[in-house]
Structure 1
Amino acid sequence: MYATILFVLATFSATTLLAQNPGKIVGKVIDQKTSETLIGATVSIEGTTKGAATDVDGRYSLSGIAPGRYTILVRYIGYQAKSISDIEVKAGSATPLDVTLAPSATTALSEVVIKATYRQESVNALYAIQKNSVSISDGISSELIRKSPDRNTSDVLKRVSGTTIQDNKFVVVRGLSDRYNSASLDGAPLPSTEPNRKAFSFDIVPSSLIDNIIISKTASPDLPGDFAGGNVQILTKDIPDNNFLTVGIGYSYNTQSTFKDFRSGFRSASDYFAFDDGSRKLVSNFPTTNEVLNGQVTGSRAIQSIQSLNNDFSIYKSKALPGQNYQVTLGNVAEIGKNKNRFGTTVSLTYRNTQTIVPDLQQQFDSYDYHSEQNKFSTNIGALANFAYSFGKNKITFKNLYNRILDDQFTYRTGSNTGSVSSDNHFYAFDMLEKGLFKSTLEGEHALGKKTSKIKWNLGFSNIVNDQPDQKKVNYKQNNTGNPNEPYVAAISSTLGKENARLFSHLNENIYSGKIDYNLPVSLFTQSTLKIGVSSQYRDRTFDARFLGVVFNEETAGKLNYDVAQLLQRPIQTLFGPNLIKSGVFDLDELANLTDRYTANSLTNAGYAMLDSKMGKKVRVVYGLRVEKFDLDLVTQDPNQPKVKLNNTDFLPSVNFTYALTPKANFRASYFRSVARPEFRELAPFAYYDYEMLASVQGNAFLKRTVIDNADLRYEFYPAAGQIFSISGFYKKFQNAIEPLIEDENSSTTISYFNSKSAYVYGVELEARKALDFIDDGAFFKNSTAYVNASFTKSKVTNPIDGVPRLEKTRALVGQSPYVINAGLTHTELDNKLSFNILFNRLGKRIFYAGGTRFSSVYEMPRNVLDFQVGYKVLKSKGEIKLGGSDLLNAKYNFQYQLDGKPYTFSGTGSTFKRYTPGSNYSLSFNYTF
């Protein structure tokens, strides 16, 4: 009650204060033909002495303006002046207005002033930005993000043309899997967050902190050269337009999880804050691997060591709570000194917690017929602190992002395994994973001289941690003797096996990066800009894993007259009881391999030169060369394993051609060469048994880098601001493509990596976004916009010819979908206070793992995804209530073995690698901005 009263009083006070405050006009001034920012342009309010100059970003801010309607005048040397009228300024808020200026057509002394209204100029600016991008790219703005139910970046990326998400977090562009895409955050490269693949987990970046996302599908020399699908550039917010404090709270309901019986293992209070309290980890004085293997851990020391482990195998039951989402964001901007230099701060804290249940995950292939229940407790905390200072023709930014995820999953699996020893199984897995990312970027931008040349530099540091402090697995077997009363016996013997080993792993990686770019306008053709730059990135990773477990000491058990068979029938809660451990009936053992620990580092140095040339009024060509030198070293603790070394120098040319067919249409063509380098994990010989995949994952020290030649054509038409129709064609040829492969020649299955000799991909992309006012000019259709983007691709890979017969000689590229469809409909009412958004996604079946000798390829089958969101602004539009629904159709995820387009059925079971339903999600949230 008191909290509600305080909230109402605070809201009333803030609203009253804002009503007394003046407003401001803010925006950016850009070149109409190139969208380049214009530094030092003057912006003034007609009839007053109030004015400002644009900074190094081309931004201006006119503050301290009384509420009302105004006209501004924008001037810049060599450009036509422009007068923009009907600009409404409201109390306590910022009116955004980006302005485009056209170069002067004459050198006459008399000034010609172009006139426009606020609405017309807003349209002009949006046109210019859409139409004048250097490369073929697609993106999404913070405004569109706010209109979707998306809570993190991976959800947002699903909306971008030709882009899909795998495993709810890894980006796939143009059907190319995550390893063929790269990402940057605030201008610095993003590292791989995964211990077993080359991928960045985009679900760790909250969508509300994003200013915009751009996916470049073709390269220019100033972009990193290690991508073939797309380069994802995420920009977070720095200098806000005005001061604000936004508080958000949200809850979600999952149809098959919330308020249902939720089962889990041990949990500490700190799990709710994404940190393990240390009770799962090995104690500091725990015996070393050598001590365990050399028989030095016996008797009382063995008992003491086993007691130091977390031996709580109890299964706790509760009701799954609704998902929770809280966020506080503070924005502040201050004008300093007579020149009104700007200092901006954006700080945000986020918290998310979800408890989800997959009631029946089916795996029916080879000798397996399994059904699993998975319960996942997930907590995400995040913090963003961005600071920026803009002074004169300079700008310094300092951006920091911290995010941490704790996923604690309990799996209970039942079913039969008709392998070498036929059995029925009750399998338990307690699996907690901690992932953390800290990223800090210092960036400077400085305009020099009269020609507005510009220097931009960037220094970055990232730290990634990925810990599994105690993955516990226990399997109970009932041998298929034909007797239904045969007891289930824990699979613990005098030797340690993968079914009852406990995994303790730790990954730490530091990344140091830096780059500097220099832009200089030059007198070449109609208008040209020379851009040169250098960059460097150093990565340093350490990884270690220990597979520990207890085994029976049969000699001690005999002396104590224990019936081992009876002990192994104990329920899992008492299987490792304190009294039993104290008796000495258990010994400590370890599955050790010197390849389980490795260190790795890589150094990438790059330099580039490019020209951005306007040749006449309609032709623009951006061309140049990027050179990258890459060195990698990886070494394990196994002296018999050779050191992994890579040393490559790559020359990466690119050219982007744009022809302006009309003021609203472009034709584009491009060619570029790029590379895809092996990730540390793909090279490391470390073997990790994945109990979910029922296979081991192992690297290949002999991988080579991939070289890709890319060609694109595109026609794009902009019928109105915010609307587009485009059609693109692309072709990619791969040399030594890197792909995951099922190695199944032996009785146990291993997923490894290999270089295919050659591969190609070609396809077509379509995108359309159009207001529905062509149906009827009434208000309903004017406020409605439909969009669709679709891609259709085909690829072909030849499987390696290495003396091992393969079921498939040729197939599609791993991760490549033959088609991807995104569609949506948005509508606003009540002067934009009420908004509706419906979204649809579908992708064609794609290969998850490439097949081997006994197993065909695993395909992820198509599924339809339907989402919606309704938003309503309240409290003078300072607050907004949102009702959203995602995955309304709740279609099954189905991963299936297929050969020649048909299910590849194993004898006695089926073709299902895994199949499950995620449940539909409904969310209700409220945000208020003070």
Structure 2
Amino acid sequence: MKSQLNLKKAIITVLFVIIGVTVFAQTGKISGKISDKKTGETLIGVTVRIKDTKNGASTDVEGRYIIPGLNTGKYTIEVSYVGYATKNITDVEVKNGSSTTVDLVMEEGGSQRLNEVVITANVKQESVNALYAQQKNSAGISDGISAEIIKRSPDRNTGEVLKRVSGASIQDNKFVIVRGLNDRYNTALLNNSPLPSSEPDRKAFSFDVIPSNLIDAVVINKTSTPDLPGDFAGGAVQIKTKDFPATKTFEVNYSTGFNTISTFSDFYGEKKQDLEFLGIGSSSRDLPSSFPSTKSRFESLPVKDRVRLTKKFDNNFGVADLGKALPTQSLQLIFGNAYVFENDSKLGLIASATYSNASTISKELRNDFGEPDIATGKSPRLFGYTDDFFNNRTSLDALANVSYSFGNNKFSLKNILKQSFDNNYMRRSGTNEDINQARKVSQIEVTEKFMINSVLEGDHVIGKNKSKLNWNLAYTSMSNDQPDMRSMIYAKDLVDIDNDAIPYQAGVPSIASPSSSGRFYSELNDRVYSGALNYSLPFNWLDASQLVKVGVFKQYKDRGMKARTFGYRTSTSNVDLSQPIDKIFADENIAADRIYISETTAPSNQYDATGDLNGGYAMMNAVLLDKLKATFGVRVENYIEKLNAVDNSGSPVKVSNNYLDILPSVNLTYALTEKANLRMSYSNTVARAQFRELAPFTFYDFKLQVVTIGNSDLKRTQINNFDLRYEFYPAAGQMISVSSFYKKFKNTIETGYLAGSNAAAKSLTYINAPDANLYGLELELRQSLSVLNESSEFLKSLTLSGNVAIMKSEVQLGGKQVNIENKRQMQGQSPYIINTGLQYAKSDWQASVLYNRIGRRISIVGFGQYENGVFRSDYPNIYEAPRNIVDFQVSKKVLKSKGEIKLNVSNILDSDARFYQDVNGDKSYTKVGDQLINSVNYGRTFSLSLGYKF
């Protein structure tokens, strides 16, 4: 932690300096993107000029142009390109200090006569044509949201934007779930470069770091093409940020929020230290500097030295009254500008920084149950707790991009930084019937996360045939530190629970047990190096434009993880264990005949791992017939993963897997009409185990009271994907689609209990299920309600959007796991997802009502045994019950549309999360018939944001 402090300070300072550079202009611009109507490919070197003037520009390597320095008024722009019909676009209005976006499509000239034709359209008509071309010409089956739709929504970050994509849902307000498949089956790319996982133990990226107003487009690819990463089955999320902002802007946004459970309630926890108000953890939480570096060195010391070292730990088990929980606060600064120089060279700058601080309280019920009685079918309760979680999160997120384009070249440097500090305190009370105790529990846990991702990329157009060369180099550094997690249990006999004369006793045993009274330290560091080179060659064949694309890539991951655990022990009864928690570890109680610390670190509590991915691909975008297009090819990925660890017996564990995957894919698109497509797709993809899942590292989850251990024998999952889709575009921005899909999994990775587990002592691990199948049907609608009455101005302002995904999955274990049912639905797989919304957009007002529901899914797979061929559950599956989530947003432009006020209300129905065992088998949660394992009450959240664009 100490070694990274200065680096973090320097990076944060540089990012704020970039954001602070602002210069404002008073003239307007016309900007946009030009593409081929038939293929959807962007066109390079197209001449765009103001008609009857010399003022103009040419499109760059991305098909974009900017014409700056225009006075207020209406213009006609003339667009010409060799081999294409010239276009005149009328009624292009420019306003002072703003940019007018004009995206358009060009029609290829099939004859000399057509080349001489001049097509005239107004700007509104051309915007419709451009949107149709974008929607219809994607290579694979995908769903997305353009910058224009994002602009009209109240969404603040990419995580909120993704909620609106068909078949997608967001978990914890930031992690994307596609087609009901969890993290491991999705991947993310930012500006064509794969994003690293922002979480240490899951394949997930926290999308809330990217402000929505810096996004050019968001697309979720649901079918694979050879130029996409091969490790997904749900979706590949592609986020494209703006390189050259349409207009110069400096934007400030401030938001505050009120939660019905948290805000102004009594808040408890540990006080912040040093720079923790910026999300940077204090080095004072590290192990004492003089502490021995290994368990063996510490435990071999004489008792007097161990006592001396015990006193070096801060007596910080006490919990402070931090007053009332304040409303959540967030401040965001955004700067963007594009500078146009001679010869159409351009410099683009985009930067944003977001600082947030939130104090939240969640209330949970937590139970567990033993094995059911054979005669009655009822299970005895093992424990029942009421938990209060107090969480304070401080985070600093930043994005800084700079791009320079000249001639047929463009270079970009893009950076993302995430820094967060979580200070958590859990207060638990309840009963443990399994050991006949009443308990009061305290746990203090701090987590510091840091990630920086930098990408240097270049785009070049080569030769007269306009072939394209693209390359990128990327580096990611990520750390996840948990310094000094402290836990303490106070307990007394269950029969004395109502007898105040008998006090609770601190759980300081004669043999150290960290779960009773102890400390836990862990450090995880990831480094990822990657690079890619792509080349595309356009050519004419079958009287149409075709494209061949090839590429090579490499990604190298390096991880180091280590943890140390300590437990307090007492050798005599000289200590009054009924003292308050902040008195137990006072200096007078730390002695050889009283209390001192022992190290309980297991040999498996550290590991090192590397992942080396190399490969290449070849593909073709072909127009085979007038209405039939095909994208086909093959991707080859060679993944070598190595892991070195030690199991709890002290024996070395080495993982060395070398996978060569040949991943073909084909996507066919047939244009039934000008407004309708029929799409078909087939592809092979994979899903790889995470390092944490392979490592024999044993972690006791104090919250769940289970042990989780990795499985070094895990293999990667292989997936066959089949898709069929009909899509219809009745008007610009409107869509109706019906999709069906089937996925066959080999060696799918699931979470299950180790053989030998019982209800009272459970150990979770990861397993490969030999076979699994997933079937699904998706329906999507985005429709203006003006179809009900075309003369109604009110209905013209309303848009109904909805998507429903219905899925069925089945895992077949083939008897390989003796304690798990052979056939069941996939763990984490939702049987349905419903996303609907009604949006209102009129002049300066925007409003929307959103509804989301996810079908019940298996959270943790249970266990049991087969008797006479019939499975009898000893510990039933734990399901996550469906929740009805309703959110409302309304916004109003103010101060001549430079300012904006937004009000968001989340979880209007105050829906709780519930996890339960379906004892009565009715496939729904009932309070009387089922066993509630966990419920979480989040409350309703009201947030108000104020924004201003200078």
Q: TM-score range by the shorter chain?
A: over 0.9
Is 2:656 the counterpart of 1:636? Answer: no
Q: 1:628 to 1:334 in 2, by over 3 A?
A: same
Is 2:274 the counterpart of 1:265? Answer: no
Give 2:443's aligned residue: 429
Q: 1:661 to 1:814 in 2, by over 3 A?
A: same
Structure 1 CA distance for aligned equivalents of residues 349 and 151 of structure 2: 21
Structure 1 residue 110: Cα displacement: 6.3
Structure 1 residue 851: Cα displacement: 1.6
Q: 1:61 to 1:610 in 2, by over 3 A?
A: same
Structure 1 residue 188: Cα displacement: 2.0
2:517 to 496, 500, 507: 500
Structure 1 CA distance for aligned equivalents of residues 799 and 495 of structure 2: 65
Give 1:356's aligned residue: 360
- SS of 2:583's partner is coil
Structure 1 residue 167: Cα displacement: 3.8
Give 2:72's aligned residue: 67
Structure 2 CA distance for aligned equivalents of residues 62 and 866 of structure 1: 44
Is 2:823 the counterpart of 1:810? Answer: yes
Give 1:5's aligned residue: none
Aligned amino acid, residue 361 of structure 2: I
Greater mean deviation of Cα atoms: 292-301 or 781-790: 292-301
Structure 1 residue 327: Cα displacement: 0.7
1:885 to 891, 899, 905: 905
Q: 1:446 to 1:584 in 2, by over 3 A?
A: farther
Give 2:887's aligned residue: 867
- Judge conservation of contact 2:364–2:936 (CA < 8 Å) in 1: yes
Structure 1 residue 545: Cα displacement: 0.5
Give 2:14's aligned residue: none
Q: 1:499 to 1:801 in 2, by over 3 A?
A: farther
- SS of 1:276's partner is coil
Greater mean deviation of Cα atoms: 231-240 or 741-750: 741-750
Q: 1:296 to 1:127 in 2, by over 3 A?
A: same
Structure 1 residue 910: Cα displacement: 6.3
Structure 1 CA distance for aligned equivalents of residues 930 and 302 of structure 2: 45
Structure 2 CA distance for aligned equivalents of residues 802 and 907 of structure 1: 35
Give 1:515's aligned residue: 532
Give 1:536's aligned residue: 554
- Judge conservation of contact 1:139–1:212 (CA < 8 Å) in 2: yes
Query: What is the percentage of aligned positions where both structures have the same residue?
Result: 43
Give 1:470's aligned residue: 484
Q: 1:594 to 1:272 in 2, by over 3 A?
A: same
Greater mean deviation of Cα atoms: 525-534 or 474-483: 474-483
Greater mean deviation of Cα atoms: 870-879 or 893-902: 893-902
Give 1:767's aligned residue: 780
Aligned amino acid, residue 844 of structure 2: K
Structure 1 CA distance for aligned equivalents of residues 929 and 729 of structure 2: 54
Structure 2 CA distance for aligned equivalents of residues 157 and 553 of structure 1: 57
Is 2:879 the counterpart of 1:856? Answer: no
- SS of 2:455's partner is strand
Q: Equivalences for 1:247-646 in 2 at 5 Å?
A: 247-291=252-296, 294-296=299-301, 298-309=303-314, 311-336=316-341, 338-366=342-370, 367-419=382-434, 421-481=435-495, 484-485=498-499, 486-497=502-513, 498-525=515-542, 526-554=544-572, 562=574, 564=575, 567-581=576-590, 585-637=594-646, 640-646=651-657
- Judge conservation of contact 1:149–1:886 (CA < 8 Å) in 2: no
Structure 1 residue 249: Cα displacement: 0.9
Structure 2 CA distance for aligned equivalents of residues 673 and 734 of structure 1: 10
TM-score by length of structure 2 reads 0.92
Aligned amino acid, residue 219 of structure 2: I
Aligned amino acid, residue 197 of structure 2: S
Q: 1:857 to 1:803 in 2, by over 3 A?
A: closer
Structure 1 residue 723: Cα displacement: 0.5
The total of aligned residue pairs comes to 899
- Judge conservation of contact 2:310–2:590 (CA < 8 Å) in 1: no
Is 2:902 the counterpart of 1:876? Answer: no
Give 1:678's aligned residue: 689
Structure 1 residue 905: Cα displacement: 11
Give 1:737's aligned residue: 748
Structure 2 CA distance for aligned equivalents of residues 247 and 904 of structure 1: 46
Residues 699-752 of structure 1 show CA distances to partners (whole Å, capped at 9, x for unaligned) of: 100001111000000000001111000000000000000011133633421121
Give 1:789's aligned residue: 803
Structure 1 CA distance for aligned equivalents of residues 800 and 338 of structure 2: 36
Q: 1:297 to 1:93 in 2, by over 3 A?
A: farther
Structure 1 residue 358: Cα displacement: 1.2
Structure 2 CA distance for aligned equivalents of residues 365 and 123 of structure 1: 60
Structure 1 residue 897: Cα displacement: 1.8
Is 2:60 the counterpart of 1:55? Answer: yes
Structure 1 residue 800: Cα displacement: 5.7
Structure 2 CA distance for aligned equivalents of residues 898 and 812 of structure 1: 14
Q: 1:206 to 1:692 in 2, by over 3 A?
A: farther
Structure 1 CA distance for aligned equivalents of residues 883 and 928 of structure 2: 27
Q: 1:205 to 1:543 in 2, by over 3 A?
A: farther
Structure 2 CA distance for aligned equivalents of residues 810 and 601 of structure 1: 34
- SS of 1:574's partner is helix
- Judge conservation of contact 1:365–1:912 (CA < 8 Å) in 2: no
- Judge conservation of contact 1:43–1:53 (CA < 8 Å) in 2: yes
Q: Equivalences for 1:4-403 in 2 at 5 Å?
A: 21-108=26-113, 111-291=116-296, 294-296=299-301, 298-309=303-314, 311-336=316-341, 338-366=342-370, 367-403=382-418
- Judge conservation of contact 2:683–2:720 (CA < 8 Å) in 1: yes
1:779 to 793, 800, 803: 793
Aligned amino acid, residue 125 of structure 2: Q
Q: 1:855 to 1:92 in 2, by over 3 A?
A: same
Structure 2 CA distance for aligned equivalents of residues 365 and 206 of structure 1: 44
Q: 1:740 to 1:839 in 2, by over 3 A?
A: same
Give 1:6's aligned residue: none
Give 1:13's aligned residue: none
2:769 to 756, 759, 770: 756
- Judge conservation of contact 2:668–2:681 (CA < 8 Å) in 1: yes
Structure 2 CA distance for aligned equivalents of residues 645 and 900 of structure 1: 45
Structure 1 residue 312: Cα displacement: 4.2
Aligned amino acid, residue 697 of structure 1: T
- SS of 1:447's partner is strand
TM-score by length of structure 1 reads 0.93
Give 2:8's aligned residue: none
Give 2:856's aligned residue: 845
Structure 1 residue 593: Cα displacement: 1.4
Structure 1 residue 909: Cα displacement: 11
1:702 to 684, 705, 713: 713
- SS of 1:275's partner is coil
Give 2:15's aligned residue: none
Structure 1 residue runs of 5 or longer lacking an equivalent are 1-16
Is 2:916 the counterpart of 1:896? Answer: yes
- Judge conservation of contact 2:918–2:930 (CA < 8 Å) in 1: no
Greater mean deviation of Cα atoms: 228-237 or 200-209: 200-209
Structure 1 residue 494: Cα displacement: 1.8
Structure 2 CA distance for aligned equivalents of residues 149 and 429 of structure 1: 38
- Judge conservation of contact 2:306–2:596 (CA < 8 Å) in 1: no
Q: 1:751 to 1:202 in 2, by over 3 A?
A: farther
Give 1:825's aligned residue: 838
Residues 845-878 of structure 1 show CA distances to partners (whole Å, capped at 9, x for unaligned) of: 0111222223222111111111111111111111
Structure 2 CA distance for aligned equivalents of residues 788 and 55 of structure 1: 37
- SS of 1:450's partner is coil
Structure 2 CA distance for aligned equivalents of residues 332 and 600 of structure 1: 42
